[in-house]
Amino acid sequence: MFDNAEGMVFRPPSEANSFILRATIGCSHNRCSFCSMYRDVQFRARPIAEIETIIRNTARRYPDLRRVFLADGNALVLSTEKLLEIISLLKLHFPRLSRVTCYGGPLDILRKSPEDLIQLKQSGLQMIYLGIESGDDEVLQLAQKGVDSEQMIAAGQKVLAAGMKLSAMLILGLGGRALSRQHAINSARVASAINPTMLSALTLMLHRGTPLRAEADAGRFQPLSPFEFVIELKELVTHLNMQSPCIFRSNHVSNMLPLAGTLPADKESLLAQAEEAIHLLRNQTRPTYNDDGPF
Ligand code: SF4
C-alpha cells in the first residue's frame, strides 16, 4: 500500500503491513554520510489538504486499516499541531486504527517538549524509530548525524519518558576498521543508557552516491570484513547492559550473523552464537556487498 509519486518509499521491515502515509517527502536532515535514501529528493512537508485527500482515497479502498506508518525519513519534524491533526484525520477515516508510528531524528525529538511527546502518545503515536547508528562521538561526527552521543541518549530517553515505544537502530561497521572497537563499545553504552523497547543492529552497506562510499573508494575508509563484522557484533553484545527487557535483533537481510533474543535474559546465548560464528568464520569468508556486488 504505497503512495510513491515522488521518489522511492522506505519503511522499517516491521511496517510491511502498514499503510505508508508520506506526510513528508524526503528527509529534512539528508546529510548522513552513509545514507542514500533521499539524496535526490527535495524535502517538503505535505500540506494538510493533500494528506487528507490521500487518507480519504485510501479509506475508500481499505476502510479497515489498523496500522499506519508516517513517512518519509523524519516525519516527526512536523509541528506537533500538524501531527495531531494528521492522527485525528486517520482516526476519523480508519475507525479500526490501532497504531501509528514514524521515524524521528534525534534533533526532531529534542526540539519537542516532553508535553508535546506525551500529547502525541495520547493521540495514538505509539512508537518512534530512531537511528542511533553509533554511540561513539567520533563515528557520529563522521556519519554527520548532527548530534553527539549525549544528545542521542537524551533523545531516546525522552521518547520513552513520554510513554512511547522506541525502536532503535545501530549500524555495524559504521566506524570502519579504524574505529570498530570504540564504535561497538560506545554504541553499547548509549543503547544501554537509553534501553529502547527494541534494538536492531544492521550492517553497513556502502551505497553509490554517498560520501562514505566515496571515502571507501578513495581508500580513506576501510570497511570491515565479514569476520570483523561478527567480532564487532560480539563486542557490542558483550557491552550491552539493559536494565529492562529489550528485544534485540541483528537479523536484517544485510547482516552476516542473524541474532535474535531479549536482553538481558538472552545475552549469554547470543554471545555463544556469536562465538560459534567467529569460530566458523576464522577459516572461511562470505563476501560483503555494496551496490556493485561483493567487495
Ligand atoms: S536522518 Fe535518516 S533518512 Fe535522513 S539522511 Fe540520516 S539516515 Fe537518511
> In the beta sheet, which residues pair with residue 282?
none
The pLDDT > 90 percentage for the chain reads 85
Kindly report each contact of residues 93-96 with a partner whose C-beta sits within 8 Å and lies 24 or more positions away, as own/partner: 93/55, 93/56, 93/58, 93/59, 93/63, 94/55, 94/59, 94/62, 94/63, 94/64, 94/65, 94/66, 94/68, 95/63, 96/64, 96/65, 96/66
131 Cβ closer than 6 Å to some ligand 1 atom: yes
The confidence score (pLDDT) of residue 6 equals 75
Number of C-alpha atoms within 13 angstroms, CB side, residue 71?
A: 24
Pocket mutation for ligand 1, best pick of 11, 22, 31, 37 (most atoms within 8 Å of C-beta): 37
- Cα-Cα-Cα-Cα torsion 151, 258, 236, 39, nearest 10 degrees, comes to -40
What pLDDT is attached to residue 251?
73
Q: By CB neighbour count within 10 A (0-12 exposed, 13-18 middle, 19+ buried), where does 141 fall?
A: middle
Low-confidence ranges of the chain (pLDDT < 50): 1-3, 294-295
Q: In this structure, how many other beta carbons lie within 10 angstroms of the beta carbon of residue 14? A: 16
> What is the rounded CA–CA span in Å between residue 281 and residue 225?
11
Question: Which atom from ligand 1 is nearest to the alpha carbon of 105?
Answer: 1
- Binding site membership of 106 for ligand 1 (Cβ less than 6 Å): no
C-alpha cell, 153: 541518549
Is the CB–ligand 1 distance for residue 71 below 6 Å?
A: no
Ligand 1: residue of 8, 30, 171 to mutate (most ligand atoms within 8 A of CB) is 30
Residue of 28, 38, 72, 213 to test ligand 1 pocket, by largest number of atoms within 8 Å of CB: 38
User: For residue 288, what pLDDT is reported?
Assistant: 54
Residues 265-278 pLDDT 10s: 999 999 999 999 89
Question: What's the gap in Å between 280 CA and the centre of ligand 1?
Answer: 35
Q: How far apart are CA 50 and CA 132, in angstroms?
A: 31
What are the DSSP calls for 163-201, one per residue? T-EEEEEEEETTTTTTTHHHHHHHHHHHHHHH--SEEEE
Q: How far is CA 94 from the centre of its chain?
A: 26
* Atom 2 in ligand 1: residue holding the nearest Cα: 73
Q: What is the rounded CA–CA span in Å between residue 144 and residue 272? A: 34
Minimal-distance CA residue to ligand 1 atom 6: 32
Model pLDDT, residue 70: 98
In ligand 1, which atom is closest to the CA atom of 103? 2
Buried b (16+ CB within 10 A) or exposed e, 88-103: ebbeebbeebeebbbb
Please give the helix or strand (H or E) that residue 290 lies within, else none: strand 289-290
Of all atoms in ligand 1, which is nearest to the CA of residue 10?
3
For cell 554527520, the residue is 144
Task: Answer yes or no: is the C-beta of 140 below 6 A from any ligand 1 atom.
Answer: no
Nine-digit cell string for 242 = 539493559
Alpha carbons within 13 A on the beta-carbon side of 235: 17
User: What ligand 1 atom has the least distance to the C-alpha of 72?
Assistant: 3
Q: How far is CA 38 from the centre of its chain?
A: 15
Q: What's phi and psi for 71, nearest 5 deg?
A: -105, 175
64 CA distance to ligand 1 middle (Å): 31
CA distance 222 to 56: 49
pLDDT of residue 292: 56
Phi and psi at residue 105, in whole multiples of 5°?
A: -75, 155
Distance CA 12, CA 159 (A): 18
User: In degrees to the nearest 10, what's the CA dihedral of 27, 289, 130, 31?
Assistant: -30
Query: Does 27 sit in the ligand 1 pocket, CB within 6 Å?
Result: yes
Q: What is the distance in A from the centroid of ligand 1 to the CA of 126?
A: 21
d(CA 44, CA 47): 9
Q: What is the pLDDT of residue 285?
A: 54
